[in-house]
Amino acid sequence: MSLALTITEIYASIQGESSFAGQPCTFVRLTACDLRCTWCDTVYAFTEGRKQLLDDILAEVRQLGVPLVEITGGEPLLQKNVLPLMQRLLDEAHTVLLETGGHVSIADVPVGVHRIVDVKCPGSGESGRMHWANLDLLTPRDEVKFVIADRDDFEYAREVTATHDLAHRCGAVHFSPAWNRVAPADLAAWILESRLPVRLQLQQHKYIWEPAARRV
């Protein structure tokens, strides 16, 4: 059976987000997204892409030779063939991360994948799309991320973290400033003030390379 996916790009870089930040990582970026977060830094993945067979994607990942692989997008869970891709990557002994917007069910993601689930805050313009049942499926292997564009977003993230007891239900809760929308120092101060057991997450790749650079 020749399964395929529409892919924007496959490349190796330094993982810039999540608890894996700093490690060499291969990124497989799937095309298309049904959200339009106001601050999205990857709008080119909405449309730019080409169909690739799973066998060819796996060969490209193997060729890059990095054991850590992140599936992202766009919204990776919009293409159902992403599920067998993740299973085959696990079968080949890769550590697999999935970066998802939180609005599509994670129920069918193969066991063993580290699911990094965004909860979109009001400043994204997409908070109404959250699939809340995803939070009930979290395990210590999974992580949750809030991208915070202003103080109201911070209050929202704080409320969701507390209401759903996220600090105890998953491996890490990340509060990340939306790039150029809130200063890291302000978010750091808010986190410290609140005494929340969450991590300040800065997007490392935007400090290492030009913030607008692609394929990093």
Ligand X SMILES: Nc1nc2[nH]cc(C(=O)O)c2c(=O)[nH]1
Nearest distance from C-beta of residue 114 to ligand X, angstroms: 12
Q: CA torsion 109→120→171→133, rounded to 10°?
A: -50
With residues binned 3-state (H G I as helix, E B as strand, rest as coil), the percentages for the chain, rounded to 5, are 35, 25, 45
Q: Within a 13 Å sphere around the CA of 43, how many CA atoms are in the beta-carbon half?
A: 6
Question: Is there binding between residue 126 and ligand SAM (CB under 6 A)?
Answer: no
Selected from 46, 73, 109, 142, the binder of ligand SAM by CB under 6 A is 73
C-beta closer to ligand SF4: residue 38 or 63: 38
Near ligand SF4 by CB under 6 A, which window of 28-36, 82-90, 133-141, 202-210? 28-36
Question: Is there binding between residue 15 and ligand X (CB under 6 A)?
Answer: yes
Question: Is there binding between residue 203 and ligand SF4 (CB under 6 A)?
Answer: no
Task: Report DSSP state, residue 110.
Answer: P
C-beta closer to ligand SF4: residue 11 or 56: 11
Taking the C-alpha atoms of residue 183 and residue 150, their distance in angstroms, rounded to an integer, is: 9
Question: Is there binding between residue 147 and ligand SAM (CB under 6 A)?
Answer: yes
Q: Is 128 annotated as a binding residue?
A: no
Near ligand SF4 by CB under 6 A, which window of 7-15, 71-79, 87-95, 169-177? 71-79
Selected from 7, 25, 28, 37, the binder of ligand SF4 by CB under 6 A is 37
Taking every pair of C-alpha atoms in the chain, what is the biggest distance, in angstroms?
A: 55
Taking the C-alpha atoms of residue 165 and residue 21, their distance in angstroms, rounded to an integer, is: 24
Question: Is there binding between residue 49 and ligand SF4 (CB under 6 A)?
Answer: no
Burial class from Cβ neighbours inside 10 Å (0-12, 13-18, 19+) for residue 51 reads exposed
Nearest distance from C-beta of residue 76 to ligand X, angstroms: 9
Question: Is there binding between residue 199 and ligand X (CB under 6 A)?
Answer: no
Selected from 6, 13, 100, 134, the binder of ligand SAM by CB under 6 A is 100
Task: Report DSSP state, residue 197.
Answer: S
Near ligand SAM by CB under 6 A, which window of 84-92, 132-140, 164-172, 175-183? 175-183
Angstrom distances, CA of residue 49 to CA of 9, 10, 39, 212: 7, 11, 21, 19
Binding-site residues, please? 14-16, 29, 33, 37, 39-42, 72, 74
